[in-house]
Amino acid sequence: MRILFIGDIMGKPGRRLLAEMLPGVKKDLGGVDFVIANGENAAAGFGLTESVMRDLFAVGVDVLTGGNHIWDKKDFLEVLDAEPRVLRPANYPDPSPGRGWGVFESRAGRLAVVNLQGRTYLPPIDCPFQKADALLERIDTPCVLVDFHAEASSEKRALALYLDGRASAVVGTHTHVQTADEQILPRGTAFITDVGMTGGHGGVIGMTYESVLPRFLTGRPCKFEVCPSAPRFQALFLEIDAASGRTRECRRINFPFEEETTNQLR
């Protein structure tokens, strides 16, 4: 089972970059069975809308995961309840709109996708470790990918080791800074602290430098603007044994948007 997980899609620049680059990346990888992307920043940097969701599905994303910004567009809460291909963190307390996991049919078999959120430097919601235990007891396929949307690298690493051998991959999101620690843990679980961001890298984690700077200079709230410059496509490619759920290959992708960029995959 060949899976592509795309780092947090940041606003319109990220969506345009995804549409431009995804077909070529999939081709040069030799084919991909399933595409997952974190979409919690896809609508102007904060949340999702129904139209943005449909655009992302139209360009080839199979499932969208979320995080703490998935709630930002209030009109989208009804969509969370209606659309099983959009996930929000499963460890938000009940009752919360939407669902935190699902089992989906890929071209190579069934894949469970679980969305969890960390608690260090983020809202104190339910325990992601205990929630993972509860969900894994219910999931009846060996192929399980966890998007762990968390701030602290220590919390991400701890969950990956906790789930080693029980999940196929634990993929970190949220910080928009890709880490260079992709690996396959001893019992076959792939891990990366953060897969990064698909969007403009010329500013401050996806926002323009000019719009962010006043926040640091004055300490006062200010309106952030999505950065369009220095676009990069960041993702993680996984090859998973569909019978055992163990990962065979874990490969980080980090490409600037340039003509013939995807030739670097060869």
Rounded CA-CA distance 22/120 in Å is: 33
Q: Which of 117, 248, 136 is nearest to 183 (CA)?
A: 248
Alpha carbon 56 to chain centroid, angstroms: 13
Q: Is 132 strand, coil or helix?
A: helix
Q: What is the DSSP string of 30-45?
A: T--SEEEEE-TTTTTT
The pair of three-digit structure tokens given for residue 166, joined into one six-digit string: 């029980």
CA distance linking residue 99 with residue 143, whole number of Å = 19
* Strand-pair category, 197-200 with 8-9: parallel
Secondary structure class of 254 (helix, strand, coil):
strand
Give φ, ψ of 45 to 5 degrees. 90, -10
Nearest residue to 18 via CA among 196, 194, 257, 204? 257
Give one DSSP letter per residue of 156-218, joined into a string: HHHHHHHHBTTBSEEEEESS----S--EE-TTS-EEES---EEEE-SSBTTB-HHHHHHHHHH
Catalytic residue, chosen from 69, 174, 176, 201, is 69
* 69 in catalytic set: yes
Any idea which residues carry the catalytic annotation?
69
